[in-house]
Structure 1
Amino acid sequence: MSHAPPPRSRSALPERALGLAPFIVVGVLLAVLWSLVLWFSGNQHRRLIAESYQQLDLLNRATADQMAALMREVRQTLLTQDLWIATRAAEQPALAALRPAGAGLQASMIETSPQPDAQLPPNVMGSAGVWIGLPVHDAADGAVWRLPIWMQQRTGDPSSRGYLRASLRLDRLMARHEAMRLQPVGSILIVRDDGVVLSRTPFLGTLMGAGLFERSKNARAAFVQPEGHFVGGTTMTDGLERIVSHAKVPGFPMRVLVTQSIETALETFYRRQAFVMTLSTVVSLIAIALTWVIWRTGRQVRLQHAELGVLNALSPLGSFRADITGATTQANDAYLHMHGLKPDQLAWGWLDAVPSADRDEARHRWVDAVRQGLPFSITRWLDRHDGQRVKLAIRSRPFFWQGRLAGQVGVAEDITASAVQERTHRLWTQWLAASNDCVAQLDGLLRVVSLNPAARQRLGLSLDAPLDGVTIDRFCAPGEVERLRDTMSSSLAHRGVWFGESVMEADGGRQYPLALMALAHVTRRGKLEGATLIGRDRSEEHEARMARRDSEDTLRVVGETLSALIVVLDADERIQFVNSVAERRFLLPPVKMLGRRWKDLLGDREYPRHEQAVKQALAGERGELDRETSDRDKPQRMHVVYTPLLDEQGAVRGCVGVGWITPPAA
């Protein structure tokens, strides 16, 4: 069984985007942060490598210059030896003194052979008349490493010229390089142009005479240039990855390589990088945690806002918000409906419904309360644009935003119906208390539930005495109770009203003839739920007339409970009261009929039939109307009586119209 997907709001995507906004913003900021961190790391790495190369280059130039000077001394020593051999030291003793003098220049590092070699050994490399061989380990002389260097004789018979040989004491050369290398893991290498390692400081036996090109491809490519840099792998030397600065020794087939461990060169970089990475990670975690907290808080706020929005839309109360100037900035539909406003009239539209004489005072009072941050409460009648008159209760309180007064927030409640009911109840209570008629409220079983003061006085009951045991028998002569019940029940059920006569025995035994009238109270479904029984004393004509007038006033007040159509008009024929029968007849709620002219409600076609009777009642006379009509194509007979409504001085202040709608006479 398939199920339809749940409905979604049209603003779902913007709301979700708004909910993810903190993560998006923080994500962008973190991306920028880490981009800066990576840029800093790369830039710092390159800068430190460049500084290390500069340092290595300076050391390399000094070492290369020193090595060039040493090699020139070797060549000069060999030239001196060549001259000595050519002139025969035995024949010219003065020249023999040159040999020890030449050799003494570097006596501690350069050693020469007494006789030339007939030919060069294999695996030597020459340049500019000087050949360099492989380093030799002399185990017989204390395990000393020597570097043999040859130069061809330049004097004597060309056919018999041999090769003069000198040896460099590498242990002494390494001692000099040891003082020059970068501590603690820097190294200095002397390498032939073909890549053969001649010397390394610190000493590393596995590299002596080994081929550097086989260990590092970068070295072969770098040796194309007279000087430069490259990165040597871990297999090149002692297992440490190194940065290398190389330079050719001028005039000789060899190069000087000065190296430094990358880890040592970048030690400062690694410390800074670790600090920056740690700090950035901590900042990122804190930012993500705060973002999550903000997101959770925002999610709760948006959820509460959505719930309040729905509740606000469903609430019968009108809610509103005003800014610091007093202008209404936000309101729900109920508020607009109560004031009869359109959205574009929201700011000050409610003032148009206030009577013109009170508008300036109403605005001044409201603005003062808003600007001073005072609670505001008022109940007023408003005349809406659609002609309806409503009574609203307005209550508001100041609200603050970021510690500053921002305006007022309040609610509006439509109390028109309750005001009308309260007024009707008040009039009903006052008239019942002042009436000379005996009035009793009956339930659906015709049991007495309340009595007015006049009835209590006649029956000898105090105002607060309970009514247990009091029945309608007290309003009847003995023996007429059953007849009274039967006729009253039948008439109320069929006609909604009952008229009769009886004799009431008052407290003290005195009997009063009564003219009785009962009005039925029915539910919307037509079920009898109670009745009002009114009894008038007919013992004296004057009292009867006065009681009749009070009774008529009483009937007008309780007209809401009658099955007849009742309308109360003022002297200008404006509707002051209608009962539920009129509401059903005209299909309008009371609030839409109150204050309207009787002519406007009846219409131009129906009002002329009532006009004469209304005019008679307003002139102080009784007016009647009896005519045939129809409702939904059903013929009906309407009988309407208009009775003058007098004030305490006897002046006409309006009229009461009572209409009975019955089936047509047969």
Structure 2
Amino acid sequence: MPLLRQFFSHRLIWLALLVSLGIGVLFARSVWTIRKDEWDYATQTNTNLAQTLERSLIWALDSYDRSLQGVAREAGNPETWAMPPDLRARVVFDNSLRMEGVGNVFVLDTKGDLILDSGSLEPRKANFADRDYFQAFESGTHTGLFVGKPVPSRIRGIYILPLSRAYQHPDGSFAGVVVGALRLSFFNEMFRSLDLGPNSGVNLFRSDGVIISRFPYGDADVGKTIAGTHNFLRFQREGSGSFVGRAALDSVERLYTYRKVGNYPLIVNVAQATQTILDKWYRSAWMLGGFALLLIGGCMALGLLFVRELTLRQSVSGQLKQAEHDLRTILNNLPSMIGYWDRQLHNRFANHAYVEWFGQAPGEMRGRHISHLLGPELYEKNRPYLEQALQGHAQLFERTITDPKGVARFAILSYIPDFDGDEVRGIFVQATDITERKRMEDALFDEKERMRLTLRAIGDAVVCTDAQGQVTYLNPVAQRLTGWQAFDAAGHNADEVVNLRSADNDALLDSPLRQAIQQACAVDAVRGIVVHRSSGARFQVEGSASPITDRHGAVTGAVAVLRDVTEAVAMAERMAHLAQYDTLTDLPNRLLLQDRAEVAMAQARREANLLAVMFLDLDGFKQVNDNLGHAVGDQLLVQFARRLQAAVRASDTVCRQGGDEFVVLLPGLDTPEAACGVARKILAACDTPFELAGRRVQVGISGGIALFPQHGDTFDDLSRHADDAMYAAKRGGRMRFMLYRGPGADPEPVLPESATA
């Protein structure tokens, strides 16, 4: 019984379903009938069109064939060839057909040469022995009219369809071929008046599948063959009829209506795209189908609407009660105070949180003015916000409320107007306890302040970024190095603010901050240069970076520490320089000279040339020190060092040995005379007096020269021999150079230019 009652209670749905089914069947039958009518009409129309085209083609071909038969008959008459050429042409071609699209008629001899031309009294030079029609008649395999393969004309170059017959000598032997041509434009003109719609047209094939004409697709496919395709096999097998198939050339589905053209080896085919045939039906079907669906949907919707209305009426009261219960349960369990006050600020609803905050139950508050709840003092503080809310402006503010236990609570309150059209009929009030959040904010602020003061006190530059590499903090040292103020750098890309460059080639270095964010691990210290934003000052820094992660391990930013090592690097470079250069003259010392000498001797061995070592000593240096002081003596050494450097090549090395002794290394010499030439330049450089403490002082030099490899194969040997030669120069009168000559031999003086000349 319950099932039966349920069936009858839903009878409207069953009725709607039956009506909808009847509408659907009726419309489906109508649509199918329309489709069948459209298809039958297209089939009959295409059949009539194919028959008309067949008769037109038969008439044209019969007419042309009779013309060719007349020409063949005259060409086979021996008397014709005895006539004068002009009379013979008139007699032979008197029977040729004159119509639009018909080409000239040619008479060929047994070799395929053109001997008579209907278009010219003097036959043009041409041979057609390679044509399929000539070969068929010559071999005797064909009689009667031969329909050739469409080819480009050798005379005019346009596509033609050759039609030919053989003619015979009186004894019946093969005498030649009479060939005429129908231009393919002849068929196109015949088919041009037909409009079968998109992707549709008329095709003319030879019975072996060779394409003669495809209208309106042009001549691109002329001469191709579709022999062996499914469609053409059916053309050949059935001769005439209609069927639906897909084209081998373009894969378009069409309705093919085809007929064999009389007794000729030709097939005419009307091919209309099924989409074109059914296009109008599709539109009608969609329109009718849409209307049917609309009616069906309307019936079903009405039935469902009635059933739904009945069902809703039975359950709406229960749902409303349940919804009210659920809403009160939710609001009473929220951690916030939720209330509603009408336009006169009388309570209409309050949740149980008011008991904890104000000690009043929702039932006690119903209908009371809000001032009874807040008290006079708190009401006066909140009244401006209440008035703004009643004027339609939402309010959000913070307030401190003391609960019945005397505990101060920090709360954030929102007053949301309840609009009835343009009029405010009440306000929703929500108060959320933010005491714990306030405590945490204060603690966080204190922690942040301690961190800020710590970072300000650090002597290194500190740069902080977020997870996207945007700067969030710069301490004062970082501001001094980069030239960016913290407020100006905030939000800028870290690569823009801290632009690290290589100290070697000034190339940009990878940002440690960016690497720390991407790799989620600390980046080892890297050294580079930071360029000040405004002044352009360059600071040598050593920086490292570490990612900042949250408690889940996700990267939220990065911090980089940059230590200014400019002075340390400068000091290291200065110490490295002092280790290899003389402090007073800034000339290479003996350690650097030793290294360069070893390199120069190795090069001299490879290139088989010479190098020279010169030892020099100032004559009278002690007297300058004694008479003018050590400071002036130092000036003399500096000036003498500059003159020495000016007298030698850039590739030579001038070294201060100590005191007033100097050593000169001359690599890459071709002859000993080259070293002597340098010695003369050094002597000439000392001819001019030195300006010392306002006085002109004449100082001489003595020097000795040793050559590699003649005078030694080590630098120590060369130094010792050059020193010996220098002391020989001092003993010999000073202001001269002596060239070492070997053990036991006296050094040889280096003569001035005038003496050598």
Q: TM-score range by the shorter chain?
A: 0.3 to 0.5
Under a length normalisation based on structure 1, what TM-score does the superposition of the two structures give?
A: 0.40
Under a length normalisation based on structure 2, what TM-score does the superposition of the two structures give?
A: 0.35
Q: Which has the larger radius of gyration?
A: 1
